[in-house]
Amino acid sequence: MRKEQQIQIVKTVFEKLEKQKNKQDADGVTYQIDADRYTSKERFEQEKEILFKNHPIVLGAAGQLKDAGDYFLHDLTGIPIMVIKGKDGTIRAFLNMCRHRGVRLLEETEGHIKRNIVCPYHAWSYDTTGCLKGVFHSQGFKQVDADSHSLIELDCWVRLGMVFVVPNPQLKGKFDIDRWLEEVYTITEGFDFGTYYPYHFKEGELASNWKLIVDGALEGYHFKIAHAKTIGPYFLDNMSVNTENKLHATIVFPKRAMKKMKDKSPSDWRLRKGANVLLHIFPNTILLIEPDHLMAVTFCPIDEKTTQMKSFMLLPSEPMTDKEKAYWDLNAKIFWDAIQEDNEMAILQQKSFNGFSDTHITVGSYEKLLVQFENLVDSILDGK
């Protein structure tokens, strides 16, 4: 984030603090969102097909694949995907499917390919770049070669230490990833993240619609109440600065420590020292920019009422000592204690809607990014 933008955000916080004293920090406008968007099976199928198969989504951290031949699998979109690091050092994504009879090639969720990927059915083999290398009794397949029968490759990019993939093979070559992430780059520009070393992986199922998870991340109105015993006391009450981007929403959560900046020259203001910056990378990733590292949470819907969540830290460098590991473990605990509180609220919302969804939720002016996100989902589903 450019220095002038950081300065303006800090100034905005100080201005909002003054308005908050007089209860003039909001326009008071409220919005309504239909609750059945969190329970509809028909809507869920649309979201999974359009949002999660046809757009770049984060499948994991690039640092998971340290050596050539390392791979991990991803099946949550309904499309079987393998992500593998080739001997040339490039990370690629392919359909986890043999080009002969369609057998699933790899079964372990992660692992290492020493030489080639070998089909367990008829021993067709592929190298780590997806190229067909061997056909068992090849004399029976005169029209088969590497040009026609190598693995089906998907669009795959490494950006910000994460692996982005478009699961739908029919859309290969259709996305300009840097244009897609342009708004994200505007926020991350100028911040030093180091080597993006992945650390502290965690995953699990959540009994909630995936959109409720995003909704909960896009407002700080709940901090003082829902996070009273964890992170709440460290942040300014009900204070956030929103960037209403067209695609990837940004919200800045100022800490109480930001007040100390008021006595310093604006040229000395550093946003990351006084706030956490949250990026929602549409559709399935929350990236939290903390003072000295990143937290990433990705999610894929299993059904309309259940979501698979995965998270990992991206550190400036690999922790080498017990002291360093203890420091990052503590940071992970603080983060997940707060996330668990958010998850509990999402589960309680889902329980209500599972029993009665013929209603709406009310969203206030402190929660406008939530409205922006839900409207964006509607717009993309409608093909706009």
Residue 243's pLDDT is 80
| Closest C-alpha to 351, from 35, 27, 2 | 35
pLDDT digits (tens, 9 = 90+) for 7-48: 999 999 999 999 999 999 999 999 999 999 999 999 999 999
| Structural domains of the chain ordered from first start | 3-53+180-381 (3.90.380.10), 57-174 (2.102.10.10)
Residue written as token pair 């409205």: 371
Q: What was the pLDDT predicted at 245?
A: 82
Phi, psi (5° rounding) for residue 111?
A: 175, -160
Tens digit of pLDDT per residue, the chain (384 long)? 999 999 999 999 999 999 999 999 999 999 999 999 999 999 999 999 999 999 999 999 999 999 999 999 999 999 999 999 999 999 999 999 999 999 999 999 999 999 999 999 999 999 999 999 999 999 999 999 999 999 999 999 999 999 999 999 999 999 999 999 999 999 999 999 999 999 999 999 999 999 999 999 999 999 999 999 999 999 999 999 998 689 999 999 999 999 999 999 999 999 999 999 999 999 999 999 999 999 999 999 999 999 999 999 999 999 999 999 999 999 999 999 999 999 999 999 999 999 999 999 999 999 999 999 999 999 999 987
pLDDT of res. 384? 76
Q: CB neighbours (10 Å) of residue 81?
A: 21
| Residues forming beta bridges with residue 298, ordered by sequence position | 285, 310
pLDDT of amino acid 257: 93
pLDDT at 308: 97
Does the pTM surpass 0.75? The reply is: yes
Q: Phi, psi (5° rounding) for residue 26?
A: -150, 150
* Helix H or strand E encompassing 42: helix 41-46
pLDDT score for 129: 97
State phi, psi for 47 to the nearest 5 degrees: -60, -45
